[in-house]
């Protein structure tokens, strides 16, 4: 439970309602005396995102998303129909909105709140510096968009610094760790001081091309035969069959048990020795750390920077199979260090990277911008 409380009604706008965000939204709702309403719509037909259709504590207000262009393309735009009606109905005392300039209706929501002298927090990955002439044209518009917000919450320290470089006031930028699990109630069972047979490498997540399981398969195959681990790829998704085909040719030791949840998933975390995320995304990293696992992640948008530190894991250049194989060899060659790094992972999640900490940061940010 959060150490902070918000005395009013809180509104939160999202393009989507991902399933992994439900625990955070419900925890945030518990900390709001007047309740929380989440306004969110549906993904495009080509997106492999698991969404929820209800919340346990918070109120879910469905939006009608109008998509223009292909998601991920430079020209994609989204309009959320019904946003102003939701604001009129819910009458939030404060609003949290995704700080993405591609969501055109967000500007109207900011103007609606500002006209009533109510604070608006932006929430986003950051504002990375692009390349080329197009970026030079976009950057001033992005800065104008950010100026609609009274405060900004970033997923990571890197994202926070990017907002500051865009000219957003440093005193109104906050960092909330990107967490999908609550603070662990107790440490996991101590792991054995030696491997029980071959070491076990684990991946958990949605099986999409961008997860780059192919890189993990090739990296395992590049290791000396006597050190090659058992590889468990837990999850389902549109690229599962393609990854299985590669595994049959490259690394038959890999197993694909499908999607697992609850106590079934707990079993995989408990028997693993190392968690690897070879591609982008993946909040399962935090869950793996909560189970006392050292982690290897591909460097990406900065969301993993604050989680994966030298004392608990490794960050590998994206797409670099040779570097990934080298790190696998290094990590699995020293089990004493591996177990020590796993204990550091648990400590980081217990103290810094959990849903309760996220809720606290958001409520502190609302209080800070309200007083200003």
Phi, psi of 153 (to 5 degrees): -110, 125
Q: Looking at the structure, tell me whether residues 204 and 338 fall in a common domain.
A: yes
- What is the per-residue pLDDT for 86? 98
72 — alpha (psi -120 to 50), left (phi > 0) or beta?
left
Residue 194 inside a domain? The answer is: no
Round to whole Å and give the CA distance between 184 and 167: 37
Round to whole Å and give the CA distance between 320 and 107: 40
Round to whole Å and give the CA distance between 56 and 50: 17
Q: Looking at the structure, tell me whether residues 176 and 204 fall in a common domain.
A: no
Q: Looking at the structure, tell me whether residues 173 and 211 fall in a common domain.
A: no
Residue 163 inside a domain? The answer is: yes
Residue 191 inside a domain? The answer is: no
Q: Looking at the structure, tell me whether residues 361 and 347 fall in a common domain.
A: no
Q: Looking at the structure, tell me whether residues 95 and 220 fall in a common domain.
A: no
Q: Looking at the structure, tell me whether residues 358 and 343 fall in a common domain.
A: no
- What is the per-residue pLDDT for 277? 94
Instruction: Say whether 98 sits in a helix, a strand or coil.
Output: strand
Domain that holds residue 124: 10-180+354-371
Instruction: Render pLDDT for 124-177 as a digit per residue (tens, 0 to 9).
Output: 999 887 666 666 677 888 999 999 999 999 998 999 999 999 999 999 999 998
Total number of domains constituting the chain:
2
Round to whole Å and give the CA distance between 104 and 348: 37
Round to whole Å and give the CA distance between 156 and 345: 17
CATH at 260: 3.40.50.2000
Round to whole Å and give the CA distance between 339 and 342: 5
Q: Looking at the structure, tell me whether residues 137 and 225 fall in a common domain.
A: no
- What is the per-residue pLDDT for 134? 66
Residues of the chain with pLDDT under 50: none
Burial of residue 249 (number of CB atoms within 10 Å: 0-12, 13-18, 19+): exposed
Q: Give the residue among 197, 184, 188 at the shortest CA–CA distance from 335.
A: 197
Q: Looking at the structure, tell me whether residues 53 and 129 fall in a common domain.
A: yes
Give 203-242 as a 3 state SS string.
Answer: EECCCCHHHCHHHHHHHHHCCCHHHCCEEEEECCCCCHHH
Instruction: Render pLDDT for 171-219 as a digit per residue (tens, 0 to 9).
Output: 999 999 888 888 988 888 889 999 988 999 999 998 989 899 999 999 9
Q: Looking at the structure, tell me whether residues 42 and 175 fall in a common domain.
A: yes
Q: Looking at the structure, tell me whether residues 138 and 233 fall in a common domain.
A: no
């Amino acid at each position: 439970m959060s150490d902070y409380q918000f005395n009013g009604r809180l509104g939160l706008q999202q393009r989507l309602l991902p399933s992994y965000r439900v625990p955070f939204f419900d925890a945030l709702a518990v900390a709001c005396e007047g309740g929380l309403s989440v306004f969110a719509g549906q993904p495009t037909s080509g997106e492999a995102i698991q969404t929820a259709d209800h919340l346990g504590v918070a109120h879910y207000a469905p939006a009608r998303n109008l998509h223009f262009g292909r998601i991920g393309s430079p020209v994609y735009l989204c309009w959320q129909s019904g946003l102003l009606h939701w604001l009129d109905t819910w009458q939030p005392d404060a609003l949290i909105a995704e700080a993405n300039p591609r969501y055109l209706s967000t500007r109207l929501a900011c103007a609606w709140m500002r006209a009533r002298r109510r604070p608006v927090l932006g929430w986003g990955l950051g504002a990375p510096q692009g390349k080329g002439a197009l970026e030079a044209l976009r950057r001033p518009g992005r800065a104008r968009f950010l100026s609609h917000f009274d405060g900004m919450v970033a997923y990571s320290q890197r994202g926070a610094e990017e907002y500051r470089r865009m000219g957003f006031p440093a005193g109104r930028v906050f960092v909330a760790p990107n967490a999908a699990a609550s603070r662990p109630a107790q440490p996991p069972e101590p792991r054995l001081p030696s491997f029980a047979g071959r070491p076990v490498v684990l991946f958990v997540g949605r099986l999409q091309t961008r997860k780059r399981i192919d890189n993990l398969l090739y990296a395992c195959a590049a290791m000396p035969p006597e050190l090659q681990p058992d590889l468990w790829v837990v999850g389902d998704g549109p690229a599962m069959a393609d990854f299985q085909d590669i595994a049959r040719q490259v690394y038959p030791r890999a197993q694909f048990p499908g999607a697992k949840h609850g106590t079934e998933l707990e079993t995989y975390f408990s028997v693993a020795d190392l968690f690897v995320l070879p591609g982008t995304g993946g909040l399962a990293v935090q869950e793996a750390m909560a189970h006392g696992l050292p982690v290897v992640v591909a460097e990406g948008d900065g969301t993993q920077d604050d989680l994966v530190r030298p004392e608990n894991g490794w960050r590998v250049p994206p797409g670099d199979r040779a570097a990934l194989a080298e790190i696998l060899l290094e990590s699995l060659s020293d089990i004493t260090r591996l177990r020590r790094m796993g204990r550091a992972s648990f400590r980081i999640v217990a103290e810094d990277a959990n849903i309760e900490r996220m809720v606290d940061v958001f409520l502190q940010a609302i209080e800070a911008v309200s007083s200003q």
